[in-house]
Amino acid sequence: MRSTNTRSARSRPTKRSVNASATPTQSFHRVDAHLSLLEGAEETGWVEFKTNTRVERIEQDADSVTVYDQNGNAYRGVALIGADGVRSVVRQTYVNDQPRVTGHVVYRAVVDKDEFPQDLRWNASSLWVGPKCHLVHYPLRGGEQYNIVVTFQSRQQEEWGVTEGSKEEVESYFQDICPKARQLIGLPKSWKRWATADREPIPQWTFGRTTLLGDAAHPTTQYMAQGACMALEDAVTLGEALRVHGNDWGKALDLYQRSRITRTARIVLSGREMGRLYHAQGVERLVRNSLWKGRTTEQFYDAIQWLYGWNVDNCLSESI
């Protein structure tokens, strides 16, 4: 959810409000998004939350699904939506594929406006690219904070995961970049470090009364900045599929997967290509520059129309 225009999610932005805005994207802080979703779920009165509850086993019969947690407690329902993230137990149960570690490492930090360089306080998502690395910064919460996200191709063998970052490590990768971008590296007091991975897109998410959603269905690299967006689109689409099929779960879960698999695979595969473009070196770098140079804003938007043109009215279709 990167943006050329920012706004707090406290006003509960929907995909519709995003599409209606002057620029095709908006960004918001994930905490705000989470709170909006939580409030919305609570308002319905239909959602029960369980924390400290790890699903470990799944059983299905013709009419129901039962999951068992780490304490052996059973939860029975008419369907199971596995939205359990990149290390999904639900995916592991039905697909059991391996992650594809990229070797690309992301460092992220949030910096308050006052500490952020005056000459970079642009109300836009900004990208600096270099061989095997890039930097992104964009305002959060109406410009009160700035998110700094830097990525580099690691010198060492990486394993998928998130840890505390080290100032020394991140600095060592950005020695040779131009001073204007370089100044960002020194700002954060602490960094989080993600060694990224994705998985090959799969042709089936629905297994009986169980389906996958979000990162469990389509873990992706961060290059398209669409991981959470896809999870939200999934949820809207599943809702629509249930609506048009009058809550027939069998039909709805099938329509849901058919509507989502191609689109999310395109985003996952595009993410890989974006990573390659951002980090291009040598002659490939010249080609990348020639692709971008002189492009009008309109041409840029046209090229991502397939991405941002999605909305609830066209979500039940196999080829968007």
Ligand X SMILES: Cc1cc2nc3c(=O)[nH]c(=O)nc-3n(C[C@H](O)[C@H](O)[C@H](O)COP(=O)(O)OP(=O)(O)OC[C@H]3O[C@@H](n4cnc5c(N)ncnc54)[C@H](O)[C@@H]3O)c2cc1C
- Residues lying near ligand X in the complex (CB under 6 A) are found at 1-2, 53-55, 83-86, 89, 106, 108, 194, 214-216, 222, 225-229, 231
Residue 282 beta carbon to a copy of itself: minimum distance, rounded to whole angstroms: 6
Does residue number 21 form part of the binding site for a copy of itself (CB under 8 A)?
A: no
Does residue number 144 form part of the binding site for a copy of itself (CB under 8 A)?
A: no
Residue 250 beta carbon to ligand X: minimum distance, rounded to whole angstroms: 23
Does residue number 202 form part of the binding site for a copy of itself (CB under 8 A)?
A: yes
- Contact partner, 165, from a copy of itself, ligand X, none, Cβ < 5-8 Å per class: none
CB nearer a copy of itself, residue 17 or residue 299: 299
Separation CA 88–CA 85 (nearest Å): 5
Length of the chain: 320
Among 201, 236, 251, 311, binds a copy of itself (CB under 8 A): 201
Residue 270 beta carbon to a copy of itself: minimum distance, rounded to whole angstroms: 9
CB nearer a copy of itself, residue 111 or residue 261: 261
Residue 50 beta carbon to ligand X: minimum distance, rounded to whole angstroms: 8
- Contact partner, 265, from ligand X, a copy of itself, none, Cβ < 5-8 Å per class: a copy of itself
Does residue number 262 form part of the binding site for a copy of itself (CB under 8 A)?
A: yes
Does residue number 101 form part of the binding site for a copy of itself (CB under 8 A)?
A: no
Q: Which stretch binds a copy of itself (CB under 8 A): 87-95, 206-214, 237-245, 276-284?
A: 276-284
Residue 115 beta carbon to a copy of itself: minimum distance, rounded to whole angstroms: 38
Does residue number 294 form part of the binding site for a copy of itself (CB under 8 A)?
A: yes
Among 203, 246, 296, 297, binds a copy of itself (CB under 8 A): 203
Separation CA 206–CA 250 (nearest Å): 9
- Contact partner, 286, from ligand X, a copy of itself, none, Cβ < 5-8 Å per class: a copy of itself
Among 10, 15, 182, 266, binds a copy of itself (CB under 8 A): 266
Q: Residue 200 burial (CB < 10 Å; 0-12/13-18/19+)?
A: exposed
Q: How many CB atoms lie within 10 A of CB 135?
A: 22
- Contact partner, 255, from ligand X, a copy of itself, none, Cβ < 5-8 Å per class: none
| 213 HSE (CA, 13 A, CB side) | 20
Q: Which stretch binds a copy of itself (CB under 8 A): 74-82, 101-109, 124-132, 256-264?
A: 256-264
**Sign of torsion, CA 94 46 226 140?**
negative
Does residue number 289 form part of the binding site for a copy of itself (CB under 8 A)?
A: yes
Binding site for a copy of itself (CB under 8 A): 200-203, 261-263, 265-266, 269, 282-284, 286-287, 289-291, 293-294, 318-320
